[in-house]
Amino acid sequence: MPTIPRDTSFDSTLDVLREGFPFILNRSQRYQTDIFQSRLLLQKVICLHGPEAAELFYNPERFMRNGAVPRRIQTTLMGQDAVQTHDGREHQQRKQLFMSMMNPQSVQYLMEIMADEWRATAHEWEQQRQVTLFAEAQDILCRAACAWVGVPLPEADVRQRAQDFALMVDAFGGVGPRHGRGKRARTRSERWIRDFIKEVRRGDATVPPGSPAEAIAWFRGTDGEPFSNQMAAIEIINLLRPIVAITYYIAFAAKALAEYPAYRQLLRTVPRYDHYFSQEVRRFFPFGPFLGARVREDFEWHGYKFPKGTLTLLDIYGTHHDARFWPDPDTFYPERFRDREPTPFDLIPQGGGDYGTGHRCAGEWITIESLKLAVNFLTREVEYDVPPQDLSYSLQRMPTYPKSGVVLEHVRLVVGQDARMEVQVDEGARCPFH
């Protein structure tokens, strides 16, 4: 039986901090293997890379999420005991709750709300000399997400709530002050939504019929009992926070438009080019470095032994930047998606496998459509100047985004009905593996 190749470092924790997103890719290339063993925080881990390894990783008979998500991430990013931390029947039931909200009519409604928010904010931008897109988009998406979910959000609270969701996301790769800020943001957000759920259940507040908030407030788990107020708050936040997190992709999309202005005309004139462009943004730019799971029971793969309970990491960033799977991977090239739809395991910025029974993000379709909407808005409904600024990003920072936040100057609304983007969810572009 072959032995899994071992990283030469006794413990690679500092290497992860120094190298960031390419950590697994660097070793996969160094050792010429899609599997190797390392240590992180003195714990043995198996690192996997590539689509074939992703298919293994998302086999629920081989891996489980229970015990794989560090407490420090649960207390900031996703919440303790959230849907992402479960397996089996409990996970499937909660996952179906989330998937029930992702039907075409519901996503279309969210996109219409979001388009109205973009347009309303653009009128305000016309009165300002410059705006920072990363922060402005957080507010736009926060307003839209709360309206769609059915959570009241006074305008005076928008900046704080949007910033708190962003701080939760920013904390997942942070230590010290960044982690502390994310934890405090989660505490504030959970208190806010928990109080709202209490009011709904007492009859002191109402939620729109058929809204996600109504579904979660009255959902019953595998034991037949409703969520606690705390758990209902956590799962509502697991709808709101990921929508606000799409601002990372929007900032990267705006960076690509600034650096490759020829794409603006293609986005205006070529059918479905917004889909190709958005998929390339998700492939090319970094968001999550890797995902973790634990081996359910001892098994062998390609002769390699996976002991029960072993923490296993799947390389996201590196899988998207390997020339074996993506020709010329370090070139931003939307046309690569013209004749190629991704498989369930080669384009995995939000997880792999299927939606219904696996751990692929239920909100991936919303991410794609929200990104397309933002790109169309930036190329069709407004014109703006991009002043000199630092649009670079660090691969050592997780998550990362353009350092300037993408500053826009002299935003002007484009006049004329022909300039208005069509808000229409592209069901044909929906990922086929659900």
Which residue range forms the structural domain that includes residue 202? 13-429
**What pLDDT is stored for residue 164 in this prediction?**
97
3-class secondary structure, 44: strand
Total residue count of the chain as it appears in this document: 434
Q: Where are the alpha helices (DSSP H) in 126-228?
A: 133-149, 158-170, 177-202, 212-217
- For residues 327 and 263, what is the distance between their CA atoms, to the nearest angstrom? 20
- 62 is a domain residue: yes
**What pLDDT is stored for residue 175 in this prediction?**
78
- 2 is a domain residue: no
Q: Where are the alpha helices (DSSP H) in 364-413?
A: 364-376
**What pLDDT is stored for residue 356 in this prediction?**
54
**What pLDDT is stored for residue 210 in this prediction?**
92
- As given in the structure block, the two tokens for residue 172 are 């997942």
Whether cis (ω within 30° of 0) applies to the bond prior to 387 is no
- 113 is a domain residue: yes
- For residues 41 and 311, what is the distance between their CA atoms, to the nearest angstrom? 12
**What pLDDT is stored for residue 421 in this prediction?**
63
Q: How many CB atoms lie within 10 A of CB 324?
A: 10
Q: 277 φ, ψ to 5°? A: -65, -45
- 8 is a domain residue: no
**What pLDDT is stored for residue 93 in this prediction?**
75
Name the strands in the sheet holding 35-40, side by side, starting at the edge strand that comes first in the sequence.
Answer: 35-40, 43-49, 311-315, 290-295, 63-64
Q: Which amino acid is at 213?
A: A
**What pLDDT is stored for residue 432 in this prediction?**
39
Walk along the chain (434 residues) and give the pLDDT tens digit of each residue. 688 999 999 999 999 999 999 999 999 999 999 999 999 989 999 999 999 999 999 999 999 987 777 777 777 776 666 555 545 666 677 778 887 888 899 999 999 999 999 999 999 999 999 999 999 999 999 999 999 999 999 999 999 999 999 999 999 877 789 999 999 999 999 999 999 999 999 999 999 999 999 999 998 877 788 889 999 999 999 999 999 999 999 999 999 999 999 999 999 999 999 999 999 999 999 998 999 999 999 999 999 999 999 999 999 999 999 999 999 999 999 999 998 889 999 999 998 887 555 556 777 999 999 999 999 999 999 999 999 999 999 999 999 999 999 999 999 999 765 556 667 777 655 543 33
- 344 is a domain residue: yes
- 323 is a domain residue: yes
- For residues 27 and 33, what is the distance between their CA atoms, to the nearest angstrom? 8
pTM (2 decimals)? 0.93
- 7 is a domain residue: no
What angle in degrees, to the nearest 10, is found between the helix axes of 273-284 and 229-259? 110
3-class secondary structure, 356: coil
Number of domains in the chain: 1
- 434 is a domain residue: no
Strands (DSSP E) found in 303-433: 304-306, 311-315, 382-385, 407-413
CATH number of domain containing 160:
1.10.630.10
Q: Which amino acid is at 406?
A: V
